[in-house]
Amino acid sequence: MYRPPSLRENASGIPTGFVYLVGAGPGDPDLLTVKAMRLLSEAEVIVYDRLVSDAVLSLANPQARMIPVGKKPKCHPVPQQDINKILIEQAWTGRTTVRLKGGDPFIFGRGSEEALALRSAGIRCEVVPGITAAQGCAASLGIPLTHRGLATGVRFITGHCRQDQPLEFDWDGLADKQTTLVVYMGAANIAEISKRLVEAGLPVSTPVLAVNNGTTPRERRVVSDLDTMPSATARANFEGPVLFIIGDVVSLYANRDVCPIVNQVIALASADPMATVHA
């Protein structure tokens, strides 16, 4: 068990620090939970990811120590093992520490690995859920992830594998026309994902929506289909996180009857074969 050299323990030898694994949501600070906002304002240390928006970070306790540990594709300046050590070290010094993660810490956020490392070191921790990108982006655009007659279920997958290993999924299972498929972190591999889904039987005409920097002022969107989405994504030249929503529910994107309030805040546009980028 890893134990830092400088410890602060109670009389029973138990570290007095506490770590909260907090979901920061998809980017819009208004989508933070009340508990997450309170913990940010009280934290003594905040260890945060690259995908946490500046607007969310602005809500942090101004006296808190801020420790960035963000990763980029193929660029991990702070390996996961080191992040685990940072959390353990901060807790052993007795500080209340928030580990702030984009979206939800237990959905493609490696939060479970950090929780296991903390518990193995005898550190108390608690998970504070957040709105994951699939929910936040779909809701802000008025797209239901399930809809009677179009999708009876939804599946989340990550579009890249550890150490750039080949994508290995149950493609036949994913190519279900009655299921909405949401792909996180899939921009680099969207061509392969589209190809494998088509080979497994999903029609090339299946609508796809790509959302870049969802729920933030920098949000951009592309509507296309499974056949042309790879080229459309390349032309869009997205910077930042991209989420793909694949399935017939995307056909409701421009349907003003689904979520009328969306028309007041976002200019909706119909899917078209040229895959227009909407800012």
Tell me: do 179 and 200 sit in the same domain: yes
Which pLDDT belongs to residue 70?
79
Which pLDDT belongs to residue 269?
39
Q: Please confirm, yes or no, whether 71 is among the known catalytic residues.
A: yes
Parallel, antiparallel, or unpaired: how do β-strands 242-246 and 207-212 relate?
antiparallel
Q: Report the C-alpha gap between 96 and 133 in whole angstroms.
A: 27
Tell me: do 137 and 272 sit in the same domain: yes
Tokens (6 digits) for 138: 């779909």
- φ, ψ for residue 3 (rounded to 5)? -135, 120
Nearest to 139 by CA among 219, 253, 52, 17: 253
Last residue of a domain, one of 128, 160, 186: 128
Which pLDDT belongs to residue 134?
97
Q: What is the pLDDT of residues 112-126, one digit of tens each?
A: 999 999 999 999 999
Tell me: do 42 and 120 sit in the same domain: yes
pLDDT in tens, the chain (279 residues): 555 544 455 545 556 689 999 999 999 999 999 999 999 999 999 999 998 999 999 999 999 999 999 766 565 678 999 999 999 999 999 999 999 999 999 999 899 999 999 999 999 999 999 999 999 999 989 899 999 999 999 999 999 876 667 788 999 999 999 999 999 999 999 999 999 999 999 999 999 999 999 999 999 999 999 999 999 999 999 999 999 999 999 999 865 555 443 433 333 333 343 444 555
Which pLDDT belongs to residue 253?
85
Tokens (6 digits) for 8: 């602060």
Q: What is the pLDDT of residues 101-112, one digit of tens each?
A: 999 999 998 999
- The residue annotated as part of the active site, out of 28, 101, 176, 185, is 185
Tell me: do 36 and 165 sit in the same domain: no
Last residue of a domain, one of 128, 155, 187: 128
Q: How many domains does the chain have?
A: 2
pTM: 0.84
For residue 199, give the 3-state DSSP assignment.
helix
Tell me: do 175 and 261 sit in the same domain: yes
Tell me: do 178 and 244 sit in the same domain: yes
Which pLDDT belongs to residue 271?
38
Q: Give the residues across from 104 on adjacent strands.
A: none
Longest CA–CA separation in the chain, Å: 68
Residue 7 domain-assigned? no
Length of the chain: 279
Nearest to 228 by CA among 250, 247, 206: 206
Q: What residue type is 131 in one-letter code?
A: I
Q: For position 148, which CATH number holds?
A: 3.30.950.10
Helices (H), 71-228: 80-92, 111-120, 133-140, 171-174, 190-199
- The residue annotated as part of the active site, out of 35, 37, 66, 71, is 71
Tell me: do 63 and 137 sit in the same domain: no
Tell me: do 143 and 50 sit in the same domain: no
Residue 23 domain-assigned? yes
- Residue range(s) defining the domain that contains residue 24: 18-128
- The residue annotated as part of the active site, out of 49, 104, 176, 248, is 49
Tell me: do 189 and 264 sit in the same domain: yes
Tokens (6 digits) for 191: 């061509």
Residue 42 domain-assigned? yes
Q: For position 90, which CATH number holds?
A: 3.40.1010.10
Q: Report the C-alpha gap between 225 and 126 in whole angstroms.
A: 41
Residue 165 domain-assigned? yes
- First-last CA distance in the chain: 49
Which pLDDT belongs to residue 167?
87
Residue 267 domain-assigned? yes
Which pLDDT belongs to residue 123?
93
Residue 1 domain-assigned? no
Tell me: do 172 and 112 sit in the same domain: no
Residue 263 domain-assigned? yes
Tell me: do 152 and 252 sit in the same domain: yes
Tokens (6 digits) for 16: 């007095």
Contact present, 159 and 133 (Cβ < 8 Å): no
Residue 119 domain-assigned? yes
Last residue of a domain, one of 128, 158, 174: 128
Which pLDDT belongs to residue 256?
52
Tell me: do 123 and 169 sit in the same domain: no
